[in-house]
Amino acid sequence: MTGRALVIFLAAGSVACVSSGPRPLRPAAEEVVDASARLAWTAALQAVTDQGLPIRLSDPENRTIETDLVDVAEYRQEAMQYPYAERIVRFRILVTVDSESDDARVLFFGMYSPFQTGLSNARRNEREIPRDHPAMRLIRDMASQVRKTIEGG
């Protein structure tokens, strides 16, 4: 590949990266509970508020809950060792009906934007939090609380 062709190739690749849409995110945790989707959504909302997380979106019709961006170090002391950009997280919870039963499926997402650029908005830069991220503890606590609430424990 000539020098000019290499420059064109690299430029095209960088434009493709910048113009691509948000990446699909996998849930950090999920619970299938023997309850209606409405009851599971209510339990999830309670789990979020019990953690003291600020709610940005609470939509019972679409069964979606989303928090504001938070510094996870305010909730988990071990997060202080992380760079500030990696500590700022957003949680999203979606409740659906399980495709194989009438049970509710509660999906927990944790997102952060470790690479801040001025080229696009924060949502485009969001990534799943790593499995060893301190925010995972909050997700596990919320998932556990939803299960306990539904099961009456």
* Domain of residue 140, CATH code: 3.30.530
As a whole number, mean pLDDT of residues 54-62 equals 96
pLDDT for position 132 = 93
**Mutual orientation of helices 135-151 and 37-50 as an angle, nearest 10°?**
130
pLDDT for position 153 = 62
- Is 89 a member of any domain? yes
State the Cα–Cα distance between residues 110 and 93, nearest whole angstrom: 9
- Is 15 a member of any domain? no
- Is 102 a member of any domain? yes
- Is 19 a member of any domain? no
Evaluate if residue 6 carries a pLDDT over 70: no
Residue-number span of the structural domain to which 67 is assigned? 24-151
- Count of structural domains, the chain: 1
Q: Which residues, in sequence order, are CB contacts of 53 under 8 Å at separation 6+?
A: 67, 68, 70, 75, 91, 138
- Is 49 a member of any domain? yes
- Is 2 a member of any domain? no
Evaluate if residue 3 carries a pLDDT over 90: no
State the Cα–Cα distance between residues 58 and 46, nearest whole angstrom: 11
Averaged pLDDT of the chain: 84
C-beta separation of 126 from 26 below 8 A: no
- Is 124 a member of any domain? yes
